[in-house]
Homo-oligomer: A and B are copies of this chain.
Amino acid sequence: MTNQLPLVSVPTLLINTSQCIQNIRKIHNKAIKGSVIFRPHFKTHQSEVIGHLFKQEGIACITVSSLRMAAEFAQQGWRDIAVAFPVNILEMDVINDLAAKITLSLLLESKETAEYISQRLQHKVQVYVKIDTGYHRTGINASSVDEIGALLDFITRLPNIECKGFLAHAGHSYKAHGSEELERIYSYTLAQLKLLQAQFSAKYPNLIISIGDTPTCSITKSFEGADEIRPGNFVYYDATQLFIGSCRLNQIAAFMACPVVAKHEERKELVIYGGAVHFSKDLLNHPVYGACYGLLAEWTNEGLKLVEECFVKSLSQEHGILSASVSYLDTKKPGDIIYVIPVHSCLTAHLMKADTLYF
């Protein structure tokens, strides 16, 4: 028997905490088995409640995506925080505040930035060298061994900076489908970093490898060879992860509850209170529906079930337009609540921070 859902009157993000705990334990157990540090990314939930669930599972070190988020979680008692974003040198005051209180890890990819922060640091920080293993968002190309070596030599001589190792985010896994492709991306990312680790092991024997996007971390059977993993989205999952193949439907722990405000039978649509300011505008190219901003679901005794032939077809600022089957449409009227699995739970959770209920 599943829990009752909370009653809502405005768009609300509902979080299934027992499923979150299961999602955390699944990755955590795999991390323990592979003897890697589990440093979950907190940008997905940005939530004190979910942070507490991680703490209860024995997690002590975390990842965030901004210094502001680091300050927020430091305030909530976290003492080992990595900011997995190229360091913003305009925030030296925040960096120094944090470094005075916690073990702070930053991301570097250039000598200029390294030198700049080193000269202004009042306390020691740890740094990762950011490596690009194929996503091409940021970082030094894994194959640019000379450049990486020169940066390592430069950093390790600077005061107040301690180099931890190499960090990569294989974000191209979000374009993959199925476990085979994900396993391949995972292995290749790890292999590139292992090569680097080996290349510099004589000079720098303690450099670690930090990896971990949710798709590959969910699928790969073992983390052996890595030293640290940093997935984030896995705590909630979403429609995108379902389509990549990183999760099953019943692992999705976050969904939106939205009031129906109008019904248009002639074009088989429901208008919901729930728009771009609630869901964000990330979209999924669904094989059947095309552009899809959310999947319709129902909460049953067995948990979440997808409603066939129903999806969010467009979003404006506050309106969502739900394309619905005739049979579904017949059961709904203004004032009813419908449930939608978001396309990207990180962005939805960010927008819904003040309107989240945990059950």
A interface residues (Cβ-Cβ under 8 A, vs B): 8-10, 43, 65-66, 68, 85-91, 109-110, 112-113, 116, 136-138, 171, 259, 261-264, 267, 271, 273, 276-277, 280-282, 314, 316-319, 321, 333-335, 346-347, 350-351
Q: Is the CB of B318 within 8 A of A137?
A: no
A91: min CB distance to chain B, Å: 6
Q: Is the CB of B276 within 8 A of A280?
A: yes
A/B interface sample: 6 pairs, CB < 8 A:
A8-B90, A66-B318, A276-B282, A276-B347, A277-B347, A280-B280
Chain B residues closer than 8 Å to A333, beta-carbon distance: 112
Across the interface, A335 reaches (CB within 8 A) one of B90, B282, B316, namely B90
Given contacts A112-B334, A281-B281, contact A273 B85 (CB under 8 A): yes
A127: min CB distance to chain B, Å: 14
Residue of B nearest to A169 (CB): B316
A63: min CB distance to chain B, Å: 12
Chain B residues closer than 8 Å to A138, beta-carbon distance: 261-262, 264, 271, 319
Q: Is the CB of A262 within 8 A of B317?
A: no
Q: Is the CB of B350 within 8 A of A85?
A: no
Chain B residues closer than 8 Å to A85, beta-carbon distance: 261, 273, 318-319
> How far is A58 from B351 in the complex, measured between Cα atoms in Å?
33
A270: min CB distance to chain B, Å: 10
| Chain A interface helix/strand/loop/mixed | mixed
Q: Which 3 A-B pairs have the closest CB atoms?
A: A9-B90, A86-B261, A281-B281
> How far is A259 from B92 in the complex, measured between Cα atoms in Å?
13
> How far is A90 from B319 in the complex, measured between Cα atoms in Å?
16
Chain B residues closer than 8 Å to A171, beta-carbon distance: 316
Q: Is the CB of A9 within 8 A of B88?
A: yes
A62: min CB distance to chain B, Å: 16
Chain B residues closer than 8 Å to A136, beta-carbon distance: 267
Q: Is the CB of B319 within 8 A of A137?
A: yes
A304: min CB distance to chain B, Å: 22
Q: Is the CB of B271 within 8 A of A86?
A: yes
Chain B residues closer than 8 Å to A317, beta-carbon distance: 43, 65, 346-347, 350
A253: min CB distance to chain B, Å: 19
Residue of B nearest to A65 (CB): B318
Q: A171, A259, A280: which has the most chain B beta carbons within 10 Å?
A: A280
> How far is A281 from B293 in the complex, measured between Cα atoms in Å?
12
Residue of B nearest to A90 (CB): B9
> How far is A316 from B233 in the complex, measured between Cα atoms in Å?
13
Chain B residues closer than 8 Å to A90, beta-carbon distance: 8-10, 259, 335
What 12 new A-B contacts, CB under 8 Å, besides A85-B261, A89-B335, A110-B262?
A9-B91, A65-B317, A66-B273, A66-B318, A86-B271, A88-B259, A89-B259, A138-B271, A171-B316, A277-B347, A317-B346, A317-B347
